[in-house]
Amino acid sequence: MIRVGFVGAVSKEWMGGLNYFKNLLFALNSLENKEIEVFVFVGKQTDVEIKNMFKQYATVIEDSIFDRKSLKWFLMKIEQKIFDTNFLFSNLLRKYDIQVLSHASIVNLSGIKTINWLPDFQHIHLPQMFSQKELDARDKNFMKLILKSDVIVLSSHDALKDFKSFAPQYENKAKVLQFVSQPDKKYFELTEDNKVALLNKYNLVNEFYYMPNQFWKHKNHMLVFEAVKQMAEDGSKICLVCTGHLKDYRNSEHIEQIKKFIAIHKLDNNIRLLGLVDYEDVFTFIKFSKAVINPSLFEGWSSTVEECKSVGKNMILSDLDVHKEQYPNATFFERNNVESLKNILMNYKISFDMSNTNNVDERTYYFAQNYLNILKETIND
């Protein structure tokens, strides 16, 4: 039995990260042949909902070392900074006989193997989205993880291509692990009554497109908003529903620019910014939208795309290589071309058979088995 640990220090502001861990733990928990035992380490002050989510799939260990600004947290940070070691954390892991720490972005553990995840290399492709300080820090942190981890996990072959360019001499450490999202069973039970309730709750028209991306600048909302504006000016009005945290920590002015754009062009009825909504509402929006849109300028392996793929929902995606790798059945537009998206929206029809999607159970099994194989290789290396 392999005992593997994860650190559940995931913020609700990064739903993609939270969903990633949820889906990986679900997949591992679904394996009939239990070859691994999973532990998730969290702070005592970690959000109760997040703790309960982890408890469904793993043994949860609470310790104040993961609580920001606690005494143990400060001691760990001082040890890491001054001595570049992790004896305090290593001792905690050894207390529970952890053999591998996975996806924690932590290295230098005494007698414990490390598998670390690099979600994407966005800063290489979109350096304008980062300050020089952030660019330097990401390069340094990425290289430190690559150098000192036993294995680096990547979410796509597109990311593997970036890895080979970034650190070609360490190509042998890289493994591709494409995650699979689990559809909520309630999705398939939603009826027209649920649709009517949703429309009434948010005062929406019957036909709408849905864009559930976080409001980070690289998610490319403005291109879609410009397309909606031009369509409205031409007399082809559509309704676009947007949900997600209305904040971008790297571009604090971004949200205000979006709101100003909508106000100036009187698009309040065309573009609905709903912010964070109930999780159940997200699935209802997905099901009853005309299509789900992801216009992103960069992705590692989108949880939104994966969720839609798992329920067979039609999507309109930017023409990223990773999008084409992840969901080849989608409709694609040129990510920097408003006219390209506008033409699709004006003439949009479902372009593929929604029932013709990969079997979720089968994909989940291979997801879990792939991770298990990576784990075994790490232990035996």
Q: What is the pLDDT of residues 179-203, one digit of tens each?
A: 999 888 889 999 999 999 999 999 9
Rounded to two decimals, the pTM is 0.87
335 within 8 A of 295, measured Cβ to Cβ:
yes
At the topology level of CATH, where does 2-181+362-380 sit? Rossmann fold (3.40.50)
Q: Which residues pair with 174 in a beta bridge?
A: 152
Same CATH fold assignment for domains 2-181+362-380 and 185-350: yes
pLDDT in tens, 260-300: 999 999 999 999 999 989 888 999 999 999 999 999 999 98
Q: How far apart are CA 96 and CA 65, in angstroms?
A: 15
pLDDT band at 18; cut points 50, 70, 90: confident
242 beta partners: 211, 273
Closest CA relative to residue 25, chosen from 13, 8, 43: 8
Give the pLDDT confidence of 59-104 residue by residue, as tens digits. Answer: 999 999 999 999 999 999 999 999 989 999 999 999 999 999 999 9
**What is the percentage of the chain residues whose pLDDT exceeds 70?**
96
Phi then psi dihedrals of residue 375, to 5 deg: -60, -45
Residue 224's pLDDT is what?
Answer: 98
d(CA 380, CA 376): 6
Domain 185-350 has what CATH class?
alpha beta
DSSP 18-40: HHHHHHHHHHHHT-SS--EEEEE
Q: Given this model, what pLDDT does residue 356 score? A: 44
How many Cα atoms are found within 13 Å in the side-chain-facing hemisphere of 208? 26
Residue extents of the structural domains in the chain: 2-181+362-380, 185-350
pLDDT at 338 (0 to 100): 97
Share of the chain residues as helix, strand and coil, in percent rounded to the nearest 5? 50, 15, 35
What is the number of other CB atoms lying within 10 angstroms of the CB of residue 246?
A: 16
Query: Which residues is 113 bridged to in the sheet?
Result: 100
